[in-house]
A = this chain, B = another copy of it.
Amino acid sequence: MIQTQNFKDIVDQYKVIFFDSFGVIKNYQGLVPGMNKTFEYLEEQNKKYYIVTNDASRSPIQLADGFHKIGLPTIKYNNIISSGMLAKEYLDLKVHDGIVAYLGTPNSAHYIETSGLHTLPVSDINDNNIDQVNALVLLDDEGFDWYNDLNKVVNLLRRRNIPTIVANTDLAYPLSTTDVAIAIGGIADMIENIVGKKFIRFGKPDSQTFMFAYDLVREKMPVNKKDILMVGDTLQTDILGGNKFGLDTVLVFTGNTLPKDAETRIASTGIVPTYICDDAVVDIYPAYFHFQSK
């Protein structure tokens, strides 16, 4: 079994911490036990932190609300970078008028609405409005009828030569200890393969996600990449992306990667984290104050 390090010792070496959300801060059961202590410590130490997530199903404000409900009151909407924000920035910069068709819930679509653009669920595209569709955004795996709307998307992309934006590149997400659900990223791969066109993907491990967070933090304080630590549970997204962007990285065992598989997975993928920790919990009391070790 791989030897892990104490998370607090690592955190103390950096000025800014980027956290993945699912599998690090929370999981399908709610808060990862002890993570409240981590955010208290960060506030106390006046360290900056950002949640960098591939969840495009909700706006940062809604995501922040979710954190408040599980006992993390200090995480504000402007501490959150989601791949949905990159999709929104793309639309702002590159699509100037017409309809943006989407797959997802109304909630996810509400967030990407920008002045001048009209969002419409794929189910509402018809012969009268198809020529005004200037972009397609894949936001969430829920909120639409898979059979009808995925077939409709294939035919939309055969008729209209428009950019397709994928706001979450994950193939699947966990529902419980045993079950997963197909994510919109997995569906996007299928559609891209069938229509033979290149989609525009936002989300880790792509560097644009990290750059967005990096730009935000530099607005507030002078910092460089050596001062930033990326914490994640998934080698292929959090650790690969963090490494490539030039950040030091911590792999934690509270999500996708189990302690027993870590060594094999690191060797077989070639994705090597800077550090490995059991979890991202900062325990400010020395180990001899409590009985059980983590």
Asked if B243 and A94 make an inter-chain contact with CB atoms under 8 angstroms apart, the answer reads yes
Number of interface residues of A (CB under 8 A): 59
- A to B CB contacts below 8 Å, 6 in the list: A90-B244, A161-B267, A163-B243, A186-B194, A198-B240, A199-B270
Closest to A245 in B: B208
Q: How many copies does the complex hold?
A: 4
Is A271 an interface position by the 8 A CB rule?
yes
Residues 152 to 201 of chain A near chain B (Cβ within 8 Å): 154-155, 157-159, 161-164, 171-172, 178-182, 186-187, 189-190, 193-200
Q: Which residues of A contact B (CB under 8 A)?
A: 89-90, 93-94, 145-147, 150-151, 154-155, 157-159, 161-164, 171-172, 178-182, 186-187, 189-190, 193-200, 206-208, 211, 225-226, 236, 240, 243-248, 264, 266-272
**Do A90 and B178 contact each other (CB < 8 Å), given the known contacts A161-B272, A196-B268, A208-B211?**
no
**Do A172 and B194 contact each other (CB < 8 Å), given the known contacts A90-B246, A207-B208?**
yes
A161 to B262, CA, bound (A): 13
Asked if B226 and A151 make an inter-chain contact with CB atoms under 8 angstroms apart, the answer reads no
Asked if A236 and B155 make an inter-chain contact with CB atoms under 8 angstroms apart, the answer reads no
Tell me the smallest distance from the CB of A239 to a CB of chain B, in Å.
10
Instruction: Determine the chain B residues whose CB is within 8 A of the CB of A267 once the complex forms.
Output: 161
Asked if A182 and B90 make an inter-chain contact with CB atoms under 8 angstroms apart, the answer reads no
A162 to B267, CA, bound (A): 9
A244 to B90, CA, bound (A): 7
Q: Which of B197, B211, B225 contacts A269 (CB 8 A)?
A: B197
Closest to A196 in B: B268
Asked if A89 and B189 make an inter-chain contact with CB atoms under 8 angstroms apart, the answer reads no
Asked if A193 and B208 make an inter-chain contact with CB atoms under 8 angstroms apart, the answer reads no
Instruction: Determine the chain B residues whose CB is within 8 A of the CB of A240 once the complex forms.
Output: 198, 200
Tell me the smallest distance from the CB of A170 to a CB of chain B, in Å.
10
Q: Of A179, A240, A264, which is in contact with the most chain B CB atoms at under 10 Å from its CB?
A: A179
Q: Which of B151, B200, B266 contacts A182 (CB 8 A)?
A: B151
Instruction: Determine the chain B residues whose CB is within 8 A of the CB of A196 once the complex forms.
Output: 268
